[in-house]
Amino acid sequence: MNASEILAKLTQQGVQFWVENTKLNIRSPKGVITPEVQAEIAAYKADILALIQEMNITPKCESEPLSQGISLETIGRLIGGFAGESSLEYQPPVINPKSMAQNLSVTFRPLPNGYQNLIIIKFRQELAVKLKNFGVKILPWQEATADFFYDIKIPILNKKISFKFRGVKAEINAVIDIERPNSWLRNIGIFIAENLYKFSSRWLAKNRQMSVVQIAKLSSWAEDHVAKYVENPTNTQVVILSEIDHKFVNPITPYPEKISIGINTLIRTFSEIVIGVSSNQISILNMNLSDSIFSKYELDNFVSKSLIPKVFVPIAPLLMSRFEIGAYNPHLSKYAKILGNLGRELASTGLFPAGFKLAEVIKRKSHRDIVNIIVNGRTGVSYGFVAYAEPPHYVGKLEITNYEWENLLPTPGFSSDEIRQNEANRRYIKIIIDGKYVFKQIPDIWLVSSRSGSNKTDLNLEQDIIRIGLQDKLHLQLPIEAQQQKIDVKPSYDIYVMLAISLSAALFTPELIENGAPIVHFHGYPAFDWFQENEYCVGVTNPSVPCGTYESGVLNFLGFSNLANQKIKNIKLVSLIEPDHGTNFIAHDVEYLIDRLKYGCIADQIELGGKNFASLKANLGHGDI
């Protein structure tokens, strides 16, 4: 038994712990603290003291209470299922671009001899200055790199090849380079290197899983992309400066065509982020496939609200180890059937383009193997999600009085000023609504969702609909048939967002979700004129953090809390904007959401891509509706 377990066990039995002047104090009902228990407390006294102090005092600025009465630390723990983790296992979310910048280290790869693109050269200089002004640490190439050595044994030939290269250190968050087209001689070398990799990787992979670095060194020695100089690709992102692709950013280009252009651009440059530059415009591309355009006059906003957040929180899928895995029967779930119908009804909107297999887009085996490691074994990619939040589950009182709050017990892992629990282990949260503190039970959240890579408009009940739960930890229930047949089923990248929307709606706008609610996300935006009475839009000015992060979940959570403090009633629909990404919608009724989205598409007021974002920004740049 450890300190956390001792604390949880005893608080459930009515024992109260608190700290005064660094001294541990205990008040206990008669008979609970036996000599054996007293010995356990004494043995773990220092750990118990540290845990209680951690629950009540957190020095990080991100953990200071917000206007909603709760801190980012608490919001992040709640939506991420980090209830019991220590501060070493969990880091509070950061949503302030200035704070992000001050925790970033970036280097610029030197330009090749004879490089003459004056527009990109000038932009590169301006970008370095802006990043530095915002607080990013800019390291010279020589300081950001070091000599690395790798040995790879070639099978059959029984020969060991040693590699020495100058690589970017793992602690560097991003390396910025220009696009470097291959010469015909390099293309010959690439062909030879790739075939050698295909030949040798079959034997190498049998003995042990190869790392991203090992694959890159074995297959990329003939290339000159900066990714091969990165020591740790999971920590260091590659940012490429290139001439702007006018076809990609053209609002007339169909979005499915943009998907193909964007994916091939990222693969061709072997980068996570591509910044397109022209004489008067800037674009930014990552796996979210945003076609956002910025004027050169908006460089400050581009760097602080778009580039810095993308570098600080890279796109990453949730590891399966974050979930407690189980199974469910979708045929017995009315919510799974509702979700399947929702997807089919939205097919005519065109908002959910079909996904693709990585093997169909990434032609080189070495590149597929690298991407496979980075995306945690996902075999396909799709854009958007459909989900249905089940009615929140409560046990006991939904809301309590201040007196009842004062008699609750501490909750391990949380500040007792913000979250406490009763003897049945039901947690309550202290939040501000309409300027007053209220004390609400934190419900169990369950939702059904389309799996990653599925066709959202033609969901297979036996394989494509998973069930996600949020209690004190994350739960993932796979369709029982898919689990039995060992079909590759992975959750969406946007799980934190789905859970954050569901939980925050239950806390701040309970009438919206009390009977369950549909939630959808697509990579486009509604026009400002599309909104009707009792429909609301939030998040237009948020930093553009990528999906798959609990920062994105926190921003959606805060959107609901802000609505609640505007004394808004009879909410029918909420649109939660994610700049450079897309829009999340939640509605009180599934048919209502379907009708409104269909109407928006027919009226050309909703479409994929960033065309409509400008109208939202123009009308909501200083607040929400």
The reported pLDDT for the residue numbered 408 is 94
- In eight-state DSSP terms, residue 63 is G
Check if the beta carbon of residue 104 is closer than 8 Å to that of residue 173: yes
Check if the beta carbon of residue 561 is closer than 8 Å to that of residue 508: yes
CA-CA distance, 40 to 44, in Å (whole number)? Answer: 6
Residue 420's DSSP bridge partners are 410, 428
pTM, rounded to two decimals: 0.82
CA-CA distance, 137 to 432, in Å (whole number)? Answer: 38
Helix, strand or coil for residue 379? coil
The reported pLDDT for the residue numbered 25 is 74
pLDDT along the chain (625 residues), means of 10: 75 71 72 83 80 51 58 90 62 89 95 93 97 96 84 62 76 92 69 73 58 60 65 84 93 86 85 94 89 92 95 83 92 96 96 71 69 54 88 97 94 89 95 91 97 91 95 93 77 92 96 97 96 95 86 93 82 95 96 98 95 91 66
The reported pLDDT for the residue numbered 452 is 87
CA-CA distance, 342 to 459, in Å (whole number)? Answer: 10
Read off the tokens for 231: 């020591």
The reported pLDDT for the residue numbered 59 is 36
The reported pLDDT for the residue numbered 58 is 39
The reported pLDDT for the residue numbered 62 is 47
CA-CA distance, 610 to 580, in Å (whole number)? Answer: 8
CA-CA distance, 143 to 262, in Å (whole number)? Answer: 32
The reported pLDDT for the residue numbered 87 is 45
- Residue 473 sits at φ, ψ, to 5 deg, of -145, 175
Relative orientation angle of helices 72-80 and 550-564, to the nearest 10 degrees: 110
Element at 343 (helix H, strand E): helix 334-345
The reported pLDDT for the residue numbered 375 is 53
The reported pLDDT for the residue numbered 184 is 67
CA angle 353, 322, 173 (to 5 degrees): 75
